Structure 1
Amino acid sequence: MAPISAADIPTLSLLYKLKKLNASRLAPVQGATPTHNDRIGLIRGDITSLQVGAIVNAANNSLLGGGGVDGAIHRAAGPSLLAECRTLNGCQTGSSKITSAYSLPCKKVIHTVGPIYDDIRPDNSERALKGCYTSSLNLAVKNGLKTIAFSGISTGIYGYPSLDAAMVACETVKNFLDRDKTIDKVVFVTFEEKDVRAYNQVLPRFFPPNTKTSTEQEKAAEEQKAEAEAKVGQLPDVPTTDPADADYAQKKQKHENNK
């Protein structure tokens, strides 16, 4: 599979324009803004094919490989990735560590350990998941990486509900981009249908399409009306009689005077 460059990954602005993504039927979350729509990418596919600054590996605490995306990244990178991971002494849940990418087309791999979803104490799971996204983004900035791609962390065998996980991901990324100006693009990579549906539903609530507000539309309409009225005021008055009638009356009066 040919690598996909960061520039070729569609942004939310483009997806809205092409009608591939629609505004949410639900109200936007507080603070939602289209400001970052050119800095958010969305693609369904294989994260190992992305030619970006860093891809984020949903790893386990050992960092020594596993199933799902973790296993796919290790297979695509080659044995040198595992050799480097052995030197890292594992990683705590909610934290991240960075390695070289070896045979992958990206520059770096950021390994983050997502939480096993706890439906009894979901707040703990949420804090840990936020930590995954924040620590990964911080590592990208620290290492001078301009683009970073995330798959759905903890939404596989760790059991985090896809919709809830997408809410955490979008909120954390939005808050980070509000502060940071160095990251050019954050890419959300979906693969399974449940993740596709989740991000299609959640992204527009945090990053709505850039449309004019009703107030702006009313203001534009008022300006157009005022401009039209000004032009009308410069025109001569509309005659109240037919010009032909006036000409006839004038000739008749002249004829009467000559009698």
Structure 2
Amino acid sequence: MKIIEGDITALDTDAIVNAANTALLPGGGVCGAIHSAAGPELAAACRSLAPCPTGEARITPGFELIARHVIHTVGPVWHGGQNGEAALLAACYRNSLVIAAQHSLHSIAFPAISTGIFGYPEDQAAKIAVSTICEWAGETAAMPQIYLCCFSHSTRGHLEHALHQFQEGTC
């Protein structure tokens, strides 16, 4: 697993993950950037896959992206943490990894799912992302290269802290 700061749409990976909405329509933030970079064919491909319930994932071609595929997953909206948000966020990462394995993908890049307009606290989301990915990695033989791509320095800091805590066994 590698944590990088940058533009997820510019990565040369087998797949990038789109923090999508349930209708899989172009939106704001990461979703809007991915749809814009991929071109209008992405929205057309998504229409046949919608709706996508929170925690689930779907795959499409990458179209005009460098990445060959886009895995769309719908993260939970933060409502204080008492409404199953953690389990749903973990399911986003796990289900995206399952799709990557089913399609024999060798590399996948994740954004910080649900931390934008969905309001999930970055520190808590980072712990869930890191622990879910690491636990999944321990259960699979065919492990793709995983990138956690963040747009901001603060998100990167939360991810690095969460990875360090996981490695130390304190989270």
Whole-angstrom distance in 2 between the partners of 1:120 and 1:153 = 15
Task: Verify the 8 A CA contact 2:90 2:129 in the aligned structure 1.
Answer: yes
Aligned residue in 2 for 1:173 = 133
Q: Which amino acid aligns with 2:6?
A: G
Please, which of 91, 96, 110 is the counterpart of residue 150 of structure 1? Answer: 110
Greater strand share, structure number = 2
Whole-angstrom distance in 1 between the partners of 2:70 and 2:134 = 22
CA RMSD of aligned residues (A): 1.1
* Alignment TM-score, normalising by the size of structure 1: 0.63
Please, which of 144, 150, 157 is the counterpart of residue 197 of structure 1? Answer: 157
Aligned residue in 1 for 2:89 = 129
Following superposition, the deviation at residue 193 of structure 1 comes to: 2.9
Q: Which amino acid aligns with 1:68?
A: G
Please, which of 38, 44, 66 is the counterpart of residue 77 of structure 1? Answer: 38
Q: 1:99–1:120: structure 2 CA closer, same or farther, 3 Å change rule? A: closer
* Alignment TM-score, normalising by the size of structure 2: 0.95
Whole-angstrom distance in 1 between the partners of 2:85 and 2:51 = 19
Unpaired runs of 5+ in structure 1?
A: 1-39, 209-259
Q: CA deviation digits over 1:120-173, x for unaligned, max 9?
A: 515x00010011001000000001101111010000011100000000001100
Query: How many residues were matched structurally?
Result: 168
Q: CA deviation digits over 1:81-132, x for unaligned, max 9?
A: 011111112200011000000000111100000000120515x000100110
Unpaired runs of 5+ in structure 2?
A: none
Aligned residue in 1 for 2:123 = 163
Query: Quick one: percent identity of the two aligned structures?
Result: 42
Asked whether 1:43 is paired with 2:4, we answer: yes
Whole-angstrom distance in 2 between the partners of 1:132 and 1:97 = 10
Asked whether 1:94 is paired with 2:90, we answer: no
Task: Verify the 8 A CA contact 2:20 2:73 in the aligned structure 1.
Answer: yes
Asked whether 1:68 is paired with 2:49, we answer: no
Higher relative contact order (CA 8 A, sep 6+): 2
Aligned residue in 1 for 2:100 = 140
Whole-angstrom distance in 2 between the partners of 1:143 and 1:200 = 28
Greater helix share, structure number = 1
Asked whether 1:108 is paired with 2:69, we answer: yes
Aligned residue for 1:116, secondary structure, equals coil
Q: 1:69–1:120: structure 2 CA closer, same or farther, 3 Å change rule? A: closer
Aligned residue in 2 for 1:31 = none
Larger radius of gyration: 1
Q: 1:120–1:174: structure 2 CA closer, same or farther, 3 Å change rule? A: closer
Q: Which amino acid aligns with 2:7?
A: D
Whole-angstrom distance in 1 between the partners of 2:138 and 2:162 = 18
Following superposition, the deviation at residue 184 of structure 1 comes to: 3.0
Whole-angstrom distance in 2 between the partners of 1:120 and 1:173 = 20
Q: Which amino acid aligns with 1:82?
A: A
